[in-house]
């Protein structure tokens, strides 16, 4: 910081040296080199000044990580065994966002959505759970300082787990390639690093036409 007042003075001295040299046409090579080195040093210093001339403004975080958890509701559209479906389950969601100083930000989102569970009664008791792990590109847009909307699209891995009383466990998985989510959320900044909020999130998976809506409680860390 102590260098700051000296820089204009140094510029003055160098420029005067340069002008004087050309005027009297006696500038030798040694002096020219000193001038060039001086200019480069000063350019670096000016750059440093540009980065630190507003010491009172806090550093703006460009990246953020958000994680959310909450209950979800599955839109039960099964054509077979619809009555055995438990519609209320849970979702985890996490995303890493690049948040430049614009309304729009972009990132990658994943998570674990328990879509539904399926329980048949005795005597052939079977418990089936179906879940999705999405991996999607997400776009986020602020609609006010506290509210935002998200849209994401990408793929999901669909997990199918079956537990039977007398036939053991069976696991399978599928892949859904054209899925999307939409969310609207509220965010409250606790400080420069942390935020909390909530969002309502709709998820659609094309593979088996699964849809749910989740109410997530979201925590954010900005870095």
Partner 1 sequence: MRITMKHQHTYWLLVLVIFFSCNKNKLMFPPVNADANLANTQAIDNAVVKNMEGIYSLNDGSNSLGTQFVCKVSKTKVSFFSNQSGILFILSYGLNTTDGSIQFAGFWRYAENATQGTINFSIAKTDGAFDLIANGIASNILLKGIFNSPQKSISLKYERPFSQYVLAHEFIILAHGTIPLKTNSPFAVNSVNGVIHSEDYGSNGIETDIQLTKDNVPICMHDDSFDDRLTLKGPLYGDFSDFTFDILEQYARLIDGEKIPSLAQELQAFVDSTTMKYVWLDVKGDEDIFKYLEPVVGNAYAHAKAVNRDVIIFAGLPSDDVITQYKKQPSYGAQFPCLCELSLQDAIDNNCQYFGPRFTMGLLLDDVNKGHTLGIKTISWTLSDNTTILDYLQNGKFDGFISDNTPYVVYDYYALH
Q: Which of the stretches 20-28, 56-64, 140-148, 162-170 binds partner 1 when contact is defined by CB under 8 A?
A: 162-170
Q: Which is nearer to partner 1, 186 or 208 (CB)?
A: 208
Of the candidates 72, 105, 110, 130, which one interacts with partner 1 according to CB under 8 A?
130
Q: Is 204 in the site for partner 1 (CB under 8 A)?
A: no
Q: Which residues have a Cβ under 8 Å from the Cβ of 29 and sit 6 or more positions away?
A: none
Token representation of residue 197: 């909020």
The Cα–Cα gap between 148 and 84 comes to 36
Q: Which is nearer to partner 1, 8 or 81 (CB)?
A: 81
Residues 40-99 interacting with partner 1 (rule: CB under 8 A) = 77-81, 84-85
**Total binding residues toward partner 1, as defined by CB under 8 A:** 26
Q: Which of the stretches 22-30, 67-75, 94-102, 201-209 binds partner 1 when contact is defined by CB under 8 A?
A: 201-209
Q: Is 160 in the site for partner 1 (CB under 8 A)?
A: yes
The Cα–Cα gap between 115 and 92 comes to 11
CB 130 within 8 A of CB 118: yes
- Residue 148: count other Cβ atoms within 10 Å of its Cβ: 19
CA atoms within 13 A of residue 181's CA, in its CB half-sphere = 36
Provide the pairing of β-strand 104-119 with 194-205.
unpaired
Cβ 73 to partner 1 shortest distance, Å: 17
What three-state secondary structure class fits 100? coil
Of the candidates 124, 165, 193, 217, which one interacts with partner 1 according to CB under 8 A?
124
Q: Is 135 in the site for partner 1 (CB under 8 A)?
A: no
Q: Is 118 in the site for partner 1 (CB under 8 A)?
A: yes
CB 208 within 8 A of CB 77: no
Site residues (vs partner 1, CB under 8 A)? 77-81, 84-85, 118, 124, 126, 128, 130, 158-160, 162, 164, 167, 170-174, 207-209
């Amino acid at each position: 910081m102590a260098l700051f007042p000296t820089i204009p003075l140094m510029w003055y001295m160098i420029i005067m040296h340069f002008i004087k040299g050309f005027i009297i046409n006696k500038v030798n090579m040694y002096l020219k080199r000193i001038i060039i080195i001086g200019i480069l040093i000063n350019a670096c210093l000016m750059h440093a000044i540009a980065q630190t001339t507003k010491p009172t403004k806090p550093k703006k975080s460009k990246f953020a990580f958000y994680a959310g958890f909450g209950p979800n509701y599955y839109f039960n559209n099964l054509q077979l065994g619809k009555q055995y479906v438990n519609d209320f389950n849970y979702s985890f969601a996490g995303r890493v966002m690049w948040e430049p100083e614009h309304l729009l930000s972009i990132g990658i989102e994943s998570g674990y959505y328990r879509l539904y569970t399926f329980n048949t009664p005795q005597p052939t008791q079977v418990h089936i759970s179906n879940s999705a792990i999405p991996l999607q590109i997400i776009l986020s847009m602020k609609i006010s300082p506290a509210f935002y909307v998200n849209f994401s699209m990408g793929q999901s891995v669909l997990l199918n787990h079956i537990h039977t009383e007398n036939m053991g466990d069976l696991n399978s998985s599928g892949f859904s390639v054209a899925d999307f989510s939409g969310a609207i959320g509220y965010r409250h900044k606790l400080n420069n690093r942390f935020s909390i909020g909530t969002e309502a999130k709709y998820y659609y998976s094309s593979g088996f036409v699964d849809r749910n809506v989740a109410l997530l409680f979201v925590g954010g860390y900005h870095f």
